[in-house]
Structure 1
Amino acid sequence: ELEPTPRVARMLLLAACDGQQAAIERSAIEPTKALLRLQLPTRPSPQTYRDWTWVECSITLPPTVPANAVIHLPTLRIAGGKVRADLAYTHPVPKIQRTGHTVALGVDWGLNTLLSTGAARLHNEGQITDLGAGAQFRAAGVLAKQYRLRRISERLHARTDHYDRLTDPSLDSRAATLAEEIRRVSARRSNLNDALAWSAARWAVDQAVAAGATVIYLEDLRSMEAGGMGRTQNTRLSQTVRGQIADHMRHLAAEVGIAVVTVPPRNTSKHCPACLTSLRHRKAPDRPTVPGWKWAICPGCGWQGDRDQGAWRRIAARGLAHQTKTVVDRTSGAMVIRAVVDAMEAKSVIAATPKTHRTDRSKTGPTRPRTNRLTPGRREVPSPTRPLGRAGQRPEGHAPTDRTRLPRAAHRHQSVTTISTPTTSRHRPRGAALGAGFHLHAHASPPRWAEPAPDLTVRMGSLS
């Protein structure tokens, strides 16, 4: 029996070639350029060495390739009418240490708030303090789309199972259509999960770099299944992409020399990070008597805060206290702390940060005038010159308060918006009689087109 013609991808794997067929080197003049030399045949069926010739191809390196990286032979493929090169490179990275960490980043998993992170510092005397209030990676919109695609996939699978139980041959075309739609929805879910995992992992590693941390401690939730929160919430919690995020985080953290260690998740959200007392969970901080799970209150030391904010403090403190128990898993090669030691757990508390006293700001002299106000005061703007005609002039400064009777308007026909005299209300302002104006002593200024506008930049400082 003859085998059919094999179908292979339209690509050329140069990594399988030796130095006599392909070579690549980086340009010494332009670091962003690389020269690829390879032998290609000059005829469809080459017979001798004369039927081959050397071809040089210039490759533009992306900015993500470090300057000290060693590039390897790429894989050439055709995409969009152009030849693309999938280039691999090797560059040295700092060696990851299992112990000796003083600044750590704790990461707690969540649902809508996918990641809650914060940094903690281990001092020489063994005291652990937190560095700031932490941050959160919110992906509610992406998770809502992921949940919607999961519901669609469940409906499609239920319809397919219903067609499989029927024996009608006319339903085969519909079953094939459903199978194709299931494949498309599954591809969308896979792409969405992969993009979300890379984004969350990059965000966590950036937080560790910004805090100066040398280790990232994660909860090991591989063997835990969500329960007690309803069928919908349990399914959403169990189908989050925690495994992909952890793998991508290890890959990205290795490039900057940061270790990623998993710690046991026992009681990370149940105990207080300051005194290890069991917390009381409430619905919100302004509703301390309504049971819930989002807000945590400690009955012992009085600490209270978001449940996830307390969890990352517990994770970071537990990792720093148990860092001597860090081992490398032989199966996966990942660093892990397998068990919690009671003596070390007693030391994994977040001490209160001492409050810094501000300098004395008591007033010892006159207040200096402000020079950077956006709008100058009324008295700082000079009044316009008196216009020609019977129109009045805007008074300079505030209205006098020693007069018992307001004067009449300078002229009845003023180009301002006036109000009529109220008749139904008990309040009757004295200056609004017969529509003369809201205040009879505030005469109208000349129109803007008649006189140049006053300079409003008097005594105004620079805003830079």
Structure 2
Amino acid sequence: MFEAEAAPRTARMLLLSACDGQQAGIERGDDPTRALLRLQLPTRPDPRSYRDWTWVSCPIALPPTIPARAVLHLPTLRIRRGEVRADLAYTHAVPKTRRTGHTVALGVDWGLNTLLSAGAARLNDEGRLTALGSGAQFRAAGVLAKQHRLRRLSEHLHAKIDHYQRLISQDADNPLAARHAVLTGELTAVSERRSHLNQALAWSAARWAVDQAIAAGATVIYLEDLRSMEARGMGRSINTRLSQQVRGQIADRMRHLAAETGIAVVTVPARDTSRRCPQCLTVLRHRKAPDRPTAAGWKWAICPDRDGCGWQGDRDMGAWRRIAARGLTHQATTVTDRAGGQMVIRSVADKLEAKAVITPAGPQASRKDRSKTGPTRRRTTRPAPRRRRAPSPTGPSGPAGKRPEGHAPTGRTRLPRAAHRHQSVTTISTPSPRLRPEGSPSSRHRPRGAALGAGFHLRAHATRPRWEIPLPDTTSGIGSLS
């Protein structure tokens, strides 16, 4: 059998996890960033006895992500670019997550363009719920756009491969077989790119959500149930975008990262989280934008109860408030799923849901309240005109002079070309019919100076040159001195 089989091809790595303590061991010293690996290696290609083996010490530099009190396990050694790398596993104690007894929670809402919207809420001693801050959003528009481009490219390659396969029809000598092989390799590369992109996006989004919980001091993350994001009944493009999202991977990574800090991740039902007001549970009116309250849309939510509540805000920002409030009020009904070991809240109780409202942190002034809060600002009786307040810059001395404020540039040193021409008194508009001489053409007279930008009005004569104006005779009334 060994002679019939080909030589085995394995990666250039050494798995030390299968070794016992007599062959390898790892321990830490006084420096928490260093570890010492000791293992027995043969001194000859064909070791025959214990004398052909020797102990080798390998110092390992530990990254700062490994805790100081973590228990190290035997690594896997591999060669990369001429260096020996160690894939090290470790174990450290973390706080145990609990199902109840939470006072600060992070609510996370799923979105389409905005992938995650999250914010923290606090349960006070008297049972009142308040929001801690205005929340944050995890936007991955660039990554999602690239993901959709790769999806469309993958679908296009699939269609071409299927078409070539029908043309070949089990004919190995067909000239299209080479193209079919090239397209198959290209499809494999695109699939790997999509997989790597999804993994990177999942880790990034999960790390962001856990960091938000750590910064807010939350002990639980209430996550919207993934089954509420089913891709159905929303149109072809929306259904495809929903089905291609990596929500399952993000939830798994979030549970993994949150368990390291003792934060529980609980899924809650998503019923009416975006439909009702987080402060009074009134059915919201969804509009396109805050400055377009009459345009139908879904992004901006407005509470119709203007007198009692009057809340308005982003639809996703109101959803995380509802999720956090629902989780804190229903935390006594949290159970552990037997299939996956995940914490879930299966149903919503109407009695507890009535208490799941966010109380505003401070008194909010109504839009109808026009009471004064300070002295009236003094206004001048002569308001400044609507133009540039700064004075016009000083222009260069020359024929251009200085222009007042306005949109035209003030740095022009030369006048238009037509202004340098000699303009006589005949540069006027079209004469009236009663002044037109007989036999003259009826075509309209076009003054060349005005057409070229000299600046004369159509109904005004040009001023005569100064040398054509006769000077007054001042010597006519003076007699002879003799």
TM-score, normalising length: structure 2: 0.73
Compute the displacement of 1:112 (Å).
1.9
Q: Is 1:112 paired with 2:113?
A: yes
Matched, 1:242 2:247: yes
* SS of structure 1 residue aligned to 2:175: helix
Q: Structure 1 residues 355, 19: CA separation in 2 closer, same or farther (over 3 Å shift)? A: same
Residue number in structure 2 paired with 1:32: 33
Q: 2:329 — aligned with what?
A: 321
Q: Which residue is 2:363 aligned to? A: 355
Please tell me the root mean square deviation across aligned C-alpha atoms, in Å: 2.4
Match for 1:75: what amino acid? T
| Residue in structure 1 matched with residue 51 of structure 2 by the alignment | 50
Query: Is 1:330 equivalent to 2:338 in the alignment?
Result: yes
Q: How far did 1:224 drift?
A: 3.7
Query: Higher mean Cα deviation, 337-346 or 415-424?
Result: 415-424
Structure 1 position 209 matched with structure 2 position 214: yes
- Structure 1 residue 314: deviation in Å? 0.6
Aligned CA distance change for structure 1 residues 321 and 46 (closer, same or farther; 3 Å): same
Deviations 1:328-347 (A, max 9, x none): 11221111111111111111
Name the counterpart of 1:302.
310
Residues 136 and 419 (structure 1 numbering): CA distance in 2 closer, same or farther, change over 3 Å?
farther
Q: 1:51 to 1:293 in 2, by over 3 A?
A: same
Q: Whole-Å Cα distance in 2 between the matches of residues 306 and 331 of structure 1? A: 36
Alpha-carbon distance in 1 for matches of 2:403, 2:24: 98
Q: Quote the residue 1:191 is aligned against.
A: 196
Aligned counterparts of 2:399 and 2:182: Cα–Cα separation in 1: 75
Alignment of 1:13-412 (within 5 A): 13-28=15-30, 30-166=31-167, 167=169, 169-222=174-227, 224-300=229-305, 301-355=309-363
Distance 1:334 1:296 in 2: 32
Q: Kindly indicate whether residue 397 of structure 2 is the aligned counterpart of residue 418 of structure 1.
A: yes
Q: 1:402-448 deviations in whole A, cap 9, x for unaligned?
A: xxxxxxxxxxxxx99436586999xxxxxxxxxxxxxxxxxxxxxxx
In 1, distance between residues paired with 2:300 and 2:145? 23
Cα displacement (A) at 1:241? 1.0
Specify whether residues 3 and 223 from structure 1 end up closer, same or farther in structure 2 by C-alpha distance, changes over 3 A only. farther
What code does the residue aligned with 1:16 have?
A: A
Write the letter of the residue equivalent to 1:235.
Answer: T
Could you say which residue in structure 2 is the equivalent of 1:393? Answer: none
Instruction: Give per-residue Cα distances to partners, 1:199-244, cap 9 Å, x unaligned.
Output: 1111111111111111101011146423444311221122111111
CA distance in 2, matches of 1:75, 1:42: 21
Shift of 1:74: 0.4
- Using the TM superposition, give the Cα deviation of residue 313 of structure 1 relative to its aligned residue in structure 2, in angstroms: 0.5
Counterparts of 2:121 and 2:199 in 1: how far apart (Å)? 29
Q: Which has more radius of gyration?
A: 2
Matched AA of 2:160: R
Report the 3-state secondary structure (helix = DSSP H, G, I; strand = E; otherwise coil) of the residue aligned with 1:195. Answer: helix
1:7–1:418 CA distance, 2 compared to 1 (3 A): same
Query: What SS does the corresponding residue of 1:184 show, helix, strand or coil?
Result: helix
**Deviation, structure 1 residue 98:** 0.8
The residue type equivalent to 1:305 in the other structure is G
3-state SS of 1:267 partner: coil
Query: Residue 62 of structure 1 aligns to which amino acid in structure 2?
Result: P
Task: Write the distance in 1 (CA, Å) between the matches of 2:65 and 2:400.
Answer: 75
> Matched residues in 1 for 2:11 and 2:336: separation?
38
The DSSP-based 3-state class of the residue aligned with 1:16 is: coil
Task: State how far apart, in whole Å, the 2-side matches of 1:311 and 1:27 are.
Answer: 50
1:265 Cα offset (Å): 1.1
Q: CA offset at residue 97 of structure 1?
A: 1.2
**What secondary structure does 1:15 align onto?**
coil
Structure 2: tracts of 5 or more residues without a match? 366-372, 376-393, 405-482
Q: Residues of 1 paired with 2:65 and 2:201: CA distance?
A: 21
Alpha-carbon separation, structure 1, partners of 2:360 and 2:35: 55
Deviation at 1:286, TM superposition (A): 1.2
Report the Cα distance in structure 1 between the residues aligned to 2:198 and 2:400, rounded to whole angstroms.
69
CA distance in 2: counterparts of 1:179 and 1:250, whole angstroms: 36
Q: How much has 1:353 moved relative to structure 2?
A: 2.0
Matching of residue 8 in structure 1 with residue 13 in structure 2: no
Amino acid at match of 2:13: M
When residues 16 and 223 of structure 1 are mapped into structure 2, their CA distance, relative to the original with a 3 A threshold, is farther
Residues 229, 242 of structure 2: 8 Å contact kept: no
When residues 270 and 223 of structure 1 are mapped into structure 2, their CA distance, relative to the original with a 3 A threshold, is closer
SS at match of 1:338: coil
Residue aligned with 1:354, SS: coil
For structure 1, the residue ranges without an aligned partner over 5 or more in a row are 364-414, 426-464
Q: Secondary structure at the match of 1:59?
A: strand
CA contact (8 A) 2:228 2:270 kept: no
Using the TM superposition, give the Cα deviation of residue 9 of structure 1 relative to its aligned residue in structure 2, in angstroms.
Answer: 1.8
- For residues 330 and 402 of structure 2, what CA distance do their matches in structure 1 show? 82
- Please state how far the C-alpha of 1:31 moved relative to its aligned partner: 1.8
Whole-angstrom distance in 2 between the partners of 1:52 and 1:424: 96
Amino acid at match of 2:287: R
Give the Å deviation of 1:6: 2.3
- For residues 341 and 209 of structure 1, the distance between their equivalents in structure 2, rounded to whole angstroms, comes to 29
Q: How many residues align?
A: 372
